[in-house]
Structure 1
Amino acid sequence: MVALMPSSRPPHPSHSTQTPSRTGRPRSVEAHAAILEATRAALVELGWSKLTMSDVASRARVAKTTLYRRWANKSELVVDAVAVLFDELRLPDRGSLTADIQGVVLQFAALLDRPEAKTALMAVVAESTRDEALRERIRSAIVDRQKRLVLLGRERAQARGELPYEEDPAQAARNADLIFDVIAGAVVHRALVSAEPVDGDWAHTFSLLLVNGLTAGPAAATSPQT
């Protein structure tokens, strides 16, 4: 193979000498991601009570003022750091409403089992009982963004003929809120409050109960779907 040696002659004036533009994410986006990652790492290592903005800044290799320009306090920072994890939740089409619910329940439970999510969620919810602004941030950064899963699941179920179409948009929105509250509330209580396993059996039985209702009776609780 013949190696081409670079010329020592200066470039012709007509040739561009501009440095190619940098590819990838802008520095501000990279710094933002690094801060959130450092926050999650600090939560695992230090826990909620010992985590400080200074520690996060040091881990992310940014100035502490950078953090305070974006987040007023560590509660807001932790909410955003955990919200990224919730954005990883997906709802692949498993062929039926029951199977779709079961799948997202198991995903949600696995997320809550992660040390950073478990530590952060319990802490910021407790803090939000005294802080309306923080409660609103939790609602907008986590709750409202994850309602997309309910809307997607409902659309699929309607297309399959498993659920009726709703003519009143306001009622449809209220129903979506209720479905989200039931699923999220049950899984959070089971996983974090009762500290009981959210396994395939539980997720399947819960999904059947949600789809069929209390009046369907125990006959609907068949063996878990694979």
Structure 2
Amino acid sequence: MSQPARRGRPPSEEAALRILDAAHALLLERGYDRFSVEEVSQRAGVAKTTLYRRWPTKDHLIVTLVTRMQDAVEVVYSGDVRTDLVRYLGQVVAGLDRMRTAGRPDGAHDRSAGLVAEVAAASARHGDVGDAVHLMFARRNAVVLALLDEAKAAGELRADADAETVFDQLAGAVYYRLLITGRPSTPDYLHGLVDSALRGAAAGPRRPDPRGAHS
């Protein structure tokens, strides 16, 4: 007599989810420096060989975790692109702050970029990690670019507004403050940043291009 088919996730997928859940908790608790793949395998109840088969180094595992964190941030066009972008950037900054303070007593802040800088360094150490980081951002950025395209289609932004340029202004400023200046991206800062980025892209009469006077 044949055995009934098992329901639910395959064992390999269940193990991967346990690994990622354990790794996420340990990363926030210990930070990058004290993050141990061996302890992740113990907490997840899986053999180290199972973990290393999928993630050969802790850098590979952490990039997967960061991708998972990013995918948890919802991006939806509500009909008000300014509100949507401020909300999205606020969620990104909150996630970056969690990564910045991972493993520090009482979530202590300093000017270090923390885990974000470590991910950037990991992408330079391992070519395949770098490829994964680039793919992670390309996938995530595509969702926000689609939101901006929806705003264009709805008439909130000019039809010729370049969505990639608008997004680069927003993301570039947030990561510059995190990685270079160490200054916080407060709600007031984010509101002003979105206003500034949208000012040149908003639908309505276009301002003359000053370069035209010299052409």
TM-score normalised by the shorter chain: which range applies? 0.7 to 0.9
2:62 to 78, 82, 95: 78
Query: Aligned equivalents of 1:193 and 1:183: distance in 2?
Result: 15
Q: Is the 8 A contact 2:149 2:163 kept in 1?
A: no
Alignment partner of 1:124 is 2:119: yes
Query: Aligned equivalents of 1:28 and 1:104: distance in 2?
Result: 33
Q: Is the 8 A contact 2:145 2:167 kept in 1?
A: no
Query: Aligned equivalents of 1:37 and 1:28: distance in 2?
Result: 14
What is aligned with 2:197?
A: 210
1:31-62 Cα deviation digits (max 9, x unpaired): 11111111122212222122222111111111
Deviates more, 1:111-120 or 1:65-74: 111-120
Structure 1 segments unaligned to the other structure (5+ residues) = 1-16, 167-171, 215-226
The sequence identity of aligned pairs, in percent, is 35
2:53 to 66, 69, 73: 69
Q: Which has the larger radius of gyration?
A: 1
1:44 to 14, 20, 28: 28
Q: Is the 8 A contact 2:166 2:198 kept in 1?
A: no
TM superposition shift of 1:149? 2.5
Query: Aligned equivalents of 1:150 and 1:45: distance in 2?
Result: 30
Alignment partner of 1:138 is 2:133: yes
1:161-181 Cα deviation digits (max 9, x unpaired): 123446xxxxx9xx5544443
TM superposition shift of 1:105? 0.7
TM superposition shift of 1:112? 1.2
Query: Aligned equivalents of 2:50 and 2:139: distance in 1?
Result: 25
Deviates more, 1:157-166 or 1:68-77: 157-166
Query: Aligned equivalents of 1:178 and 1:76: distance in 2?
Result: 30
Query: Aligned equivalents of 1:26 and 1:64: distance in 2?
Result: 19
What is aligned with 2:94?
A: 110
Query: Aligned equivalents of 2:19 and 2:115: distance in 1?
Result: 15
TM-score scaled by length of structure 1: 0.73
1:124-157 Cα deviation digits (max 9, x unpaired): 21222333322111111x2012013223212221
- What secondary structure, in the 3-state scheme, does the structure 1 residue paired with 2:191 have? helix
TM superposition shift of 1:192? 5.2
2:147 to 129, 138, 153: 153
Matched AA of 1:126: A
Deviates more, 1:204-213 or 1:148-157: 148-157
Structure 2 segments unaligned to the other structure (5+ residues) = 104-112, 202-215
TM-score scaled by length of structure 2: 0.76
- What secondary structure, in the 3-state scheme, does the structure 2 residue paired with 1:113 have? helix
1:16-35 matches, within 5 Å, as 21-35=5-19
Q: Is the 8 A contact 1:79 1:124 kept in 2?
A: yes
- What secondary structure, in the 3-state scheme, does the structure 2 residue paired with 1:95 have? coil
Q: How many residues align?
A: 190
